[in-house]
Amino acid sequence: MFILNPQSGIPIYRQILEQVRRMVASGQLPPGTALPSVRDLALRHTINPMTISRAYSILETEGLLERHRGRPMTVASQAKNHSQLPKRLQQIGPLVEQTVVAAKQLELSEAELVKAVRREWEQDDE
């Protein structure tokens, strides 16, 4: 369910955080969906279980996940509303920044970049 790369410079718990956030925000993980247990995930990816529980705990305090006694964690029912617009914008901030830097290096104008973004957006919607 996750794509995890232990060798990456991005800590594993962050990789999980970002992927869960993205999948919840995009609706790929609708509210109520059960997540794999820490143990399963650790064994499947051969990674330290503490790292995974750390990511799950952060997601829980963010309100994205809900913990249940004796059952797997699930995506919180109001998870989608919970993620307010400023927060979501903040999340995409670094990506936008990178894109803008790259565009400047390629000597693209602002309008050209916006146009490219729009084209990509519409293609994805189809």
Partner 1 sequence: MNNAAVEAANLCKAFGQKQVLQDVSFGVSPGDVIGVLGKNGAGKTTLLEIMLGFTAPTAGAIRVFGHESRKLPGDIKARVGFVPQQDELLDQLTVADQLRVIASFYSHWDFELIDRLCGEWGVNVNARIKGMSVGERQKLSILLAFGHKPELLILDEPVASLDPIARRQFLEQLLTISADGQRSIVFSSHIVSDIERLANRIWILKDGRLDWQGDLDSLKESIVRLHIRGSGAELPRLEIPGVLNVRRDGAFATAVVRDWTAEAQESLEKSASVQIEVETLGLEEVFVELHR
Binding-site ranges for partner 1 (CB under 8 A): 6-14, 38-39, 42-43, 45-51, 54, 98, 101
DSSP string, 2-60: ----TTSSS-HHHHHHHHHHHHHHTTSS-TTPBPPPHHHHHHHHT--HHHHHHHHHHHH
Q: Least distance in Å: CB of 41 to partner 1?
A: 11
Nearer to partner 1, 4 or 76 (CB): 4
Q: How far is the C-alpha of 42 from the C-alpha of 71, rounded, in Å?
A: 17
36 Cβ contact list (under 8 Å, min separation 6): 1, 44, 72
Q: Least distance in Å: CB of 10 to partner 1?
A: 5
Nearer to partner 1, 29 or 38 (CB): 38
Q: How far is the C-alpha of 56 from the C-alpha of 50, rounded, in Å?
A: 10
Nearer to partner 1, 78 or 105 (CB): 105
Q: Least distance in Å: CB of 92 to partner 1?
A: 17
Q: Least distance in Å: CB of 91 to partner 1?
A: 14
Closest CA to 28 of 67, 69, 64: 64
Nearer to partner 1, 46 or 78 (CB): 46
